[in-house]
Structure 1
Amino acid sequence: MSNHPEVPVVPVGAHEPPYYVAVFTTVRTQEQSGYSETNARMEDLAKDVPGYLGMDHAQTPGGLGITVSYFRDADALTRWRTDVEHRAAQERGRAEWYQSYTLHVAKVERSTGFTRAEVPQAGA
């Protein structure tokens, strides 16, 4: 999982369905050499895929990581899945970084969102 403290924590917004999500859930090994750099590169690479809508990350203190990637259509998801650099990162992940993982791909049929309006502080 990437660690971007300078970026506000905001989930990817709701999009007009249908679109696709890839939910990648991991437990990592102790060996993480090169992981952060590769993960950052994969995020940058995904952004260049036509039809990419965004990516959310979460990591529990116990080590469970979840990345959800959003794509406008199945073709965009296929372009991401078959990208040569992404495929190489997948192989390295299986060889070094992941104890286990699951990948779930789904077509989103409903999407809503909520953002609390900022309330001014007293005396501000």
Structure 2
Amino acid sequence: MTAGGRPYSDVMSHDSEAPVLPVQAFEPPYYVAVFTTVRTQDMSGYSETAERMEELVKEVPGYLGMDQAHTPGGLSITVGYFRDADALTQWRTNSEHRAAQKRGRAEWYQSYSLHVAKVERSHAFTQEES
């Protein structure tokens, strides 16, 4: 899976040399889950759990991809794309994902917000290289 067009491990390591591309535009309607966090200082176990969640979400029929961005101040935004509400529900109710959510609230997140929306319009642009 990629995050913003980059392998998730590149995003986690902040590899500035990797090309950055957003997830493509899909034919609407589809759903997005926007997860915005401010992390705590203790991130022990986070990377391993994030990698496992990446493996799991890819198994959900209807999962389309993910974009992710981090600010130097600690704000992270993850946008997950799902073909339909059933795919999103399957992800939300996955038992391993639920356990990771619980651990996130207890250890990794100072705060977070989650916004779910149905996308009605979508388009993309990529400048061609000269």
Fold match by TM threshold 0.5: yes
Return the alpha-carbon distance in structure 1 between the equivalents of residues 92 and 41 of structure 2. 26
State percent identity of aligned pairs. 75
Aligned pairs, number: 119
- Structure 1, unmatched stretches of 5+, are 120-124
Instruction: Note if 1:87 corresponds to 2:98.
Output: yes
Paired AA for residue 82 in structure 1: T
Which SS does the other structure have where 1:118 is aligned?
coil
Q: Which runs of 5+ in 2 are unaligned?
A: none
Shift of 1:77: 0.1
Q: Amino acid of the residue matched to residue 87 of structure 1?
A: R
Equivalent residue number for residue 107 of structure 1: 118
Match of 1:67 among 73, 78, 93: 78
Structure-2 residue corresponding to 1:16: 27
The RMSD of aligned alpha carbons is 1.5
Structure 1 position 96 matched with structure 2 position 107: yes
Q: Distance in 1 between matches of 2:19 and 2:95?
A: 31
Shift of 1:8: 3.2
Q: Deviations over 1:35-78 (max 9, x none)?
A: 01111111111111000000000000111000000000000000
Other-structure match for 1:35: 46
Counterpart of 1:27 in structure 2: which amino acid? V
Any idea what the Cα deviations from partners look like across 1:70-109, whole Å, max 9, x if unmatched?
A: 0000000000000011000000000000000000000000
Q: Tell which deviates more after alignment, 81-90 or 35-44.
A: 35-44
